[in-house]
Amino acid sequence: MGGMNRKPLMVGNWKMHGAHLEAIQRVQKLSYLLDPGDYDRVDVAVAPPFTSLRSVQTVIEMDRLPILIAAQNMHWEEAGAYTGEISAPMLAKLSVSYVIAGHSERRRLFGEDDRTVNRKVKAALSAGLTPIAAVGETIEQREAGEAARVLRGQISGALARIPTEDIPRLVVAYEPVWAIGTGRHADPSDAQETASALRESIRKRHGNAADRVRILYGGSINPGNAAALMAKRDIDGGLVGGASLDPHTFASCVRYWK
């Protein structure tokens, strides 16, 4: 469950699923399934689509739920002529705590690169949000023995020119691209080895600040593999995709993370 007193973090990424009324029901059901002890052990966050953020914020505040809000994406500028985009200050006004930067689907489908991710990480930090910088290799890169090099490049690119004092505020999500939405997942020992390598990569530039960075695993997490992943020293939680759409399944994943 991680070391250095890093509190585990479980983030449910709802992706492009459900309108705001479904989001309200989903977060309410999740709250019924979790108890105070769960929140004491684990930070629990949900990442609804943009159109549901305000509704989810209202439910959480009215019912005083200890569930945190994450956004799935954002633009790096504070404001401007960027039709269709959402800025970090807008998200901050909706009580958003976390924002995902560089999810593999954004990289693959929308052309985001390490420089874009870096700009988003910096913008999130400046607005008081915690960025979840996502990295991960494809099956082709893995089979070619390129995974370690690719991941080092992604993490150094995402964190370029971030001051060491800001590093502990970061979350890193390791998502093997070949495992997302496929039902396949990294062997827990492989996931630990990769998480450890990512932490060491951060340590080379930022020293002991690396020990305070939470590293999440993302890639077909479910109640069947959550416990084994949770036991690994450098894995501090999960970025849960499809399994988070069912409150019962997501709550089970949270419960396994002790």
Q: What is the DSSP string of 18-80?
A: --HHHHHHHHHHHHHH--HHHHHH-EEEEE--GGGHHHHHHHHHHTT---EEEES--BSSSSS
Q: Is residue 37 part of a domain?
A: yes
- Return the pLDDT at 183: 66
Q: Which amino acid is at 219?
A: G
**What Cα–Cα distance (Å) separates residue 208 from each residue in 28, 41, 167, 240?**
39, 24, 10, 28
Tell me, what DSSP letter sits at residue 6? P
- Return the pLDDT at 170: 97
**What Cα–Cα distance (Å) separates residue 83 from each residue in 13, 50, 70, 232?**
24, 14, 22, 43
Distance CA 145, CA 148 (A): 8
Tell me, yes or no, if 85 is annotated catalytic.
no
Q: Out of 103, 105, 185, 206, which one is annotated catalytic?
A: 103
Q: Is residue 70 part of a domain?
A: yes
Q: Out of 112, 137, 175, 206, which one is annotated catalytic?
A: 175
Q: Is residue 1 part of a domain?
A: no
Tell me, yes or no, if 61 is annotated catalytic.
no
Is 201:152 a contact under the CB 8 Å cutoff?
A: yes
Is 216:195 a contact under the CB 8 Å cutoff?
A: no
Q: Which residues pair with 12 in a beta bridge?
A: 46, 240
Q: Is residue 60 part of a domain?
A: yes
Q: Is residue 4 part of a domain?
A: no
- Return the pLDDT at 14: 98
- Return the pLDDT at 44: 98
Q: Is residue 2 part of a domain?
A: no
Q: Is residue 213 part of a domain?
A: yes
Q: Which secondary-structure segment (H or E) carries 143?
A: helix 139-143
Q: What is the pLDDT along the chain (258 residues), one digit of tens a residue?
A: 455 689 999 999 999 999 999 999 999 999 999 999 999 999 999 999 999 999 999 999 999 999 999 999 999 999 999 999 999 999 999 999 999 999 999 999 999 999 999 999 999 999 999 999 999 998 889 889 999 899 999 999 999 999 999 999 999 999 988 776 666 777 899 999 999 999 999 999 999 999 999 999 998 888 888 889 989 999 999 999 999 999 999 999 999 876
- Return the pLDDT at 181: 67
SS3 content of the chain, % helix, strand, coil (to 5): 50, 15, 35
Number of domains the chain is built from: 1
Q: Where are the beta strands (DSSP E) in the chain?
A: 9-13, 43-47, 68-71, 96-101, 130-135, 171-174, 214-217, 237-240
pTM: 0.95
Maximum Cα interatomic distance, the chain, rounded to a whole number of Å: 51
CATH code of 24's domain: 3.20.20.70
Q: Which secondary-structure segment (H or E) carries 103?
A: none
Q: Is residue 3 part of a domain?
A: no
Distance CA 162, CA 118 (A): 9
Q: Which domain holds residue 72?
A: 9-256
